[in-house]
């Protein structure tokens, strides 16, 4: 009996040790790279000889990095607008009770999430070469929209699953046109889904590197594309500085998504 | 009908930007129109050639007419195409084409003057083999096979067999990463599932934060940490575990690939297992132990079987995602650790062999689609949730 009890007590401790180690493995690299971006010397070891902002200065004063940052923002913003509009419309269509072939249509619409990105990238490269869309921000926006829109379809469809379509019928019986019903009834209710879909699309584009490697020329290089060359060629702490900025950005992003989730849960409870 | 109108814009967009491009790429894996397009007269003449005797002057004249009529680029393209069948044919055809441009009939002598081998049937056989508009050549080559002169399928010589190696390596790396993710992810998922309230929430956020951190940021972090003069090696040296002059080789090899890919894919394992574990009522385990089951056997016979749906969902997802990885192995792996994605990029970007890039893409795509079909049956593709 005594032996039985000790195993009983030991197991949760073992679980904490094992799980805790894995959490450290998950978080440590992200935590470790941040201070190195403030290192005075271009080394990647601790202890650091002194603190400095020179790598951030290099990032903000370098034409190459600034062009990459500007391209990334332009492409991500355009991708977000385009994929949110197309994706939300499609999700509304798919959720209508009378929609035919729903499963097949959904499968096709989310296929860009399933196809390995290298296959998409090479295919798009091959097709864009034929129509002169290589080396252009337009080409990059179109390609990123194709892989970003499925995230919008999925998040908005999930939000619409709990939407009561009787509300739309009620609105039209009260004299609202279909457009008015969508704008005043449906959109406000599904807004959290649309916003998180938009955030997903933004991050998908902002992080994407494989397609950018194939279809963007040197004038269109994006932040991830520039990081890729930085890591491959001359690994300088500027990479650590960019990484730190991106980690801060993804933390803010995660916080927003969590907040939206919680808001949606609370709304569900209120109904 | 209105529903379809709402779906139509995105559908048309994806057809134009995504589905047609991938379709165009995949057709390149069987497309073989170069020779027929560039040498139409020769192809017409050769189709009635018996294949045993040396062709007569009419066939030489047809090839001369075709070569004179085609651009340098087109000739270069079929020369490259023929070279896949046999090394050395490329320079021979290019040289012949240059000579023939200024030659006059009878052409047979001009061809033989350019290269004596035109007098044997061998090169005409090569041309004839390259004639059909559809070919299994690239798909066979992607599996290290080819056809011999009689048309039978054979395996290529070991020193030319590279693709099976690459495919096996891709599967081996993906399977290892899946196993490592399972070993690390299962206890973490169990820990989160049995934690309560804010502890569970904090742990979950610690899993989600790396999940949302850019893939490139995480890969760069590992490059910085694992270098011979990086954080991990200097910490080990400081602890006295290793000699500082002989750092461990943790990167640009298989170890680096496994560490970085496991780190990146771990959340895809933890989240599905956690969501299944969360739904296992703790009362079952208490019932088992009140009936006299020791904790280990309660785990083995109750908890583990009940958590299996999560394990298979996470395992399949990690394996599928790993198969298509390109960026991480390219940045932290050595030449012997590159996976099939790397070779697709190599064939399309560096040597411009679209047939091979397309054939490897087709193989990767089919593997992934089959696994997703399995995933769909077991888990439901609509449960492919993110976040």
Q: Which residue of A has its CA nearest to B375?
A: A114
- Residues B267-293 have a mean pLDDT of 90
- Express each pLDDT in A53-108 by its tens digit: 999 999 999 999 999 999 999 999 999 999 999 999 999 999 988 889 999 999 99
CB-based contact A30 B221, cutoff 8 Å? yes
- How would residue B384 be classed by pLDDT, with cut points 50, 70 and 90? low
User: Are B214 and A119 in contact (CB < 8 Å)?
Assistant: no
Give per-residue pLDDT as tens, A213-257: 999 988 999 999 999 999 998 888 999 999 999 999 889 988 888
Q: Indicate the pLDDT class of residue B122, thresholds 50, 70 and 90.
A: confident
State the Cα–Cα distance between residues A32 and B246, nearest whole angstrom: 23
| Closest by Cβ to B25, choosing from A126, A250, A254 | A126
Tell me the two tokens of residue B241: 């575990």
d(CA B73, CA A193): 52
Q: Angle at which helices A237-270 and A187-207 pack, to 10 degrees?
A: 160
Please tell me which residue of chain B has the smallest CA distance to A235: B224
Q: Is the pLDDT of residue B90 over 50?
A: yes
Rounded to the nearest angstrom, the minimum Cα separation between A244 and chain B is 8
Bigger pLDDT: B265 or B301? Answer: B265
pLDDT digits (tens, 9 = 90+) for B348-368: 999 889 999 999 999 999 999
Location of structure tokens 């056997």: B297
Burial B1-35 (b: 16+ CB within 10 A, else e): eebbebbeebbebbeebbbebbebbbebbbbbebb
pLDDT bin (cut points 50, 70, 90) of residue B261 is: very high
The residue of chain A nearest to residue B263, with distances taken between CA atoms, is: A26
CA distance B214 to chain A (A): 6
CA dist., res. A134 & res. A129, Å (int)? 6
Q: Can you give the pLDDT at residue A1?
A: 46
A32 close contact with B: CB closer than 8 A:
yes
Residues in B 269-288 with any Cβ partner in A closer than 8 A: none
CA–CA distances in Å: residue B329 to residues A232, B94, B216: 12, 38, 12
Task: Map residue B293 onto helix, strand or coil.
Answer: coil
What tens digit of pLDDT does each residue of A18-66 get? 999 999 999 999 999 999 999 988 888 888 888 999 999 999 999 999 9
Average pLDDT, stretch B18-29?
96
Half-sphere exposure of B362 (CA within 13 A, CB side): 21
Residue A170: pLDDT above 80? yes
For position B387, what pLDDT does the model report?
42
Residue with tokens 């070569």: B67
Secondary structure element (H or E) that encloses residue B145, with its range: strand B145-147
**Third-level CATH fold of A64-268:** MetI-like fold (1.10.3720)
Q: Residue B236 has what pLDDT?
A: 92
Helix orientation angle between B254-277 and B304-323, rounded to the nearest 10 degrees: 140
The answer to whether residue A129 neighbours chain B at the CB level (below 8 Å) is no
Determine, for residues B384 and A113 on separate chains, whether the beta-carbon distance falls below 8 Å: yes
Q: What is the mean pLDDT of residues B248-266?
A: 96
Residue A125: its pLDDT value, please? 97
- Is the CB of residue A35 less than 8 Å away from at least one CB of chain B? no
B10 touches chain A (CB under 8 A): yes
**Annotated domain spans of chain A:** 64-268
A235/B344 touch (CB, cutoff 8 Å), yes or no: no
Residue B237, pLDDT > 70, answer yes
What confidence tens digit (pLDDT) does each residue in B144-187 have?
998 876 778 888 888 778 899 999 999 999 999 999 999 999 99
Of A47, A48, A30, give the one whose Cα is nearest residue A38: A48
User: CB–CB of A119 and B10 under 8 A?
Assistant: no
B188 and A235 within 8 Å at the Cβ level: the answer is no
Q: How many CB atoms lie within 10 A of CB B276?
A: 19
Q: How far apart are CA A91 and CA A172, in angstroms?
A: 21
Ramachandran angles phi, psi of A25, nearest 5°: -60, -40
Q: Is the pLDDT of residue B218 over 50?
A: yes
Interface contact flag, B221 A33, Cβ < 8 Å: yes
Per the structure block, which two tokens stand in for B154?
């054979």
Residue window 214-253, chain B: list those with CB within 8 Å of chain A: 214-225, 227, 229-231, 234-235
Q: What is the pLDDT of residues B298-313, one digit of tens each?
A: 888 889 999 999 999 9
Phi, psi at B155, each rounded to 5°: -85, 150
Cis ω for the linkage preceding B106 (within 30 of 0): yes
Q: What angle do CA A228, A229, A231 make, to 5 degrees?
A: 65
H or E element at residue A12? helix A2-36
DSSP string, A110-173: THHHHS-HHHHHHHHHHHHHHHT-TT-HHHHHHHHHHHHHHHHHHHHHHHHTT--THHHHHHHH
What is the per-residue pLDDT for A270? Answer: 67
pLDDT at B284: 87
pLDDT > 90: percent of chain A: 72
Residues of B (325-344) whose Cβ lies below 8 Å from A: 326-327, 331, 341, 344
What average pLDDT does chain B have? 90
**A93, A123, A258 member nearest B22 (Cβ):** A123
| Residue B332: other Cβ atoms inside 10 A | 26
A1-15, B233-247, B260-274, B325-339: least confidently modelled range:
A1-15
What's the CA dihedral at B85, B91, B96, B98 to 10 degrees?
130
Please enumerate in sequence order all residues whose Cβ is within 8 A of that of B17, keeping only pairs 6 or more positions apart, or say none.
A124, A142, A143, A145, A146
Residue A9 predicted with pLDDT over 70: yes
Determine the pLDDT at residue B45.
87
pLDDT tier at B385 (50, 70, 90 boundaries)?
low
> Distance between CA atoms of B133 and B111, rounded to whole angstroms?
26
State the average pLDDT over residues B214-220. 93
Share of chain A above pLDDT 70, in %: 96
Residue B145 phi/psi, 5-degree rounding, is -125, 160
pLDDT of residue B383: 61
DSSP designation for B154: E
Contact residues, chain B, for A118 at CB < 8 Å = 324, 326, 341, 344-345, 361, 364
Give A 85-124 residues with CB within 8 A of chain B.
86-87, 89-90, 92-94, 96, 98-100, 105-120, 122-124
Rounded to a whole number, what is the distance in angstroms from the first to the last CA of chain B?
33
Residues of B in contact with A92 (CB under 8 A): 6
Q: Taking 50 as the threshold, does the pLDDT of residue B294 lie above it? A: yes
């Amino acid at each position: 009996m005594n032996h039985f009890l000790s195993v009983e007590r030991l197991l949760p401790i073992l679980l904490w040790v094992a799980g805790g180690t894995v959490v450290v493995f998950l978080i440590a690299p992200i935590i470790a790279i941040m201070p190195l971006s403030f290192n005075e010397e271009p080394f990647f070891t601790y202890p650091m000889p002194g603190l400095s902002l020179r790598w951030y200065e290099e990032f903000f004063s370098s034409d190459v990095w600034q062009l990459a940052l500007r391209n990334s923002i332009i492409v991500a913003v355009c991708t977000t607008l385009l994929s949110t509009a197309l994706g939300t419309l499609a999700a509304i269509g798919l959720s209508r009770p009378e929609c035919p072939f729903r499963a097949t249509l959904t499968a096709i619409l989310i296929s860009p999430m399933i196809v390995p990105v290298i296959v998409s990238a090479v295919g798009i490269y091959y097709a864009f070469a034929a129509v002169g869309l290589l080396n252009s921000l337009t080409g990059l926006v179109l390609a990123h929209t194709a892989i970003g829109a499925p995230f919008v379809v999925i998040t908005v469809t999930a939000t619409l699953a709990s939407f009561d379509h009787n509300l739309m019928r009620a609105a039209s019986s009260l004299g609202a046109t279909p457009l008015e019903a969508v704008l005043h009834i449906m959109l406000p209710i599904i807004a959290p889904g649309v916003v998180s879909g938009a955030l997903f699309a933004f991050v998908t584009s902002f992080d994407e590197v494989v397609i950018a490697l194939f279809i963007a020329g040197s004038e269109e290089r994006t932040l991830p594309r520039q990081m890729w060359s930085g890591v491959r060629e001359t690994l300088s702490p500027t990479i650590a500085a960019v990484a730190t900025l991106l980690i801060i950005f993804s933390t803010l992003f995660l916080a927003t998504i969590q907040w939206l989730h919680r808001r949606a849960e609370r709304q569900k409870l209120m109904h | 009908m209105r529903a379809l109108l709402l779906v139509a814009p995105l559908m048309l967009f994806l057809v134009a930007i995504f589905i047609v491009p991938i379709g165009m790429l995949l057709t390149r894996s069987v497309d073989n129109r170069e020779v027929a397009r560039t040498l139409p007269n020769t192809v017409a003449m050769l189709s009635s050639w018996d294949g045993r005797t040396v062709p007569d002057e009419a066939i030489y004249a047809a090839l001369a007419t075709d070569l004179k009529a085609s651009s340098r680029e087109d000739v270069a393209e079929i020369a490259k195409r023929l070279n896949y069948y046999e090394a050395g044919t490329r320079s021979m055809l290019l040289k012949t084409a240059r000579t023939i441009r200024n030659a006059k009939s009878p052409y047979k002598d001009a061809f033989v003057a350019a290269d004596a081998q035109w007098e044997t049937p061998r090169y005409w056989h090569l041309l004839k083999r390259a004639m059909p508009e559809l070919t299994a050549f690239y798909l066979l080559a992607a599996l290290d096979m080819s056809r011999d002169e009689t048309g039978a399928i054979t395996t290529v010589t070991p020193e030319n067999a590279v693709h099976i190696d690459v495919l096996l390596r891709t599967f081996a790396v993906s399977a290892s990463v899946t196993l490592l993710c399972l070993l690390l992810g299962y206890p973490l998922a169990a820990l989160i599932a049995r934690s309560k309230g804010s502890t569970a929430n904090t742990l979950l956020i610690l899993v989600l934060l790396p999940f949302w951190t850019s893939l490139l940021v995480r890969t760069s972090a590992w490059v910085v940490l694992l270098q011979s003069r990086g954080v991990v090696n200097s910490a080990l040296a400081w602890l006295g575990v290793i000699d500082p002059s002989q750092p461990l080789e943790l990167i640009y090899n298989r170890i680096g690939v496994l560490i970085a890919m496991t780190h990146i894919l771990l959340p895809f394992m933890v989240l599905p297992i956690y969501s299944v574990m969360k739904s296992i009522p703790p009362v079952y385990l208490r019932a088992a132990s009140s009936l006299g089951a020791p904790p280990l056997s309660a785990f083995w016979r109750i908890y583990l079987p009940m958590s299996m749906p999560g394990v298979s969902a996470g395992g399949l997802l990690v394996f599928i995602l790993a198969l298509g990885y390109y960026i991480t192995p390219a940045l932290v792996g050595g030449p012997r650790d590159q996976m099939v994605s790397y070779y697709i990029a190599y064939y399309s970007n560096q040597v411009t062999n679209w047939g091979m890039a397309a054939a490897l893409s087709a193989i990767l795509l089919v593997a992934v689609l089959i696994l997703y079909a399995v995933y769909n049956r077991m888990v439901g593709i609509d449960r492919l949730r993110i976040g």
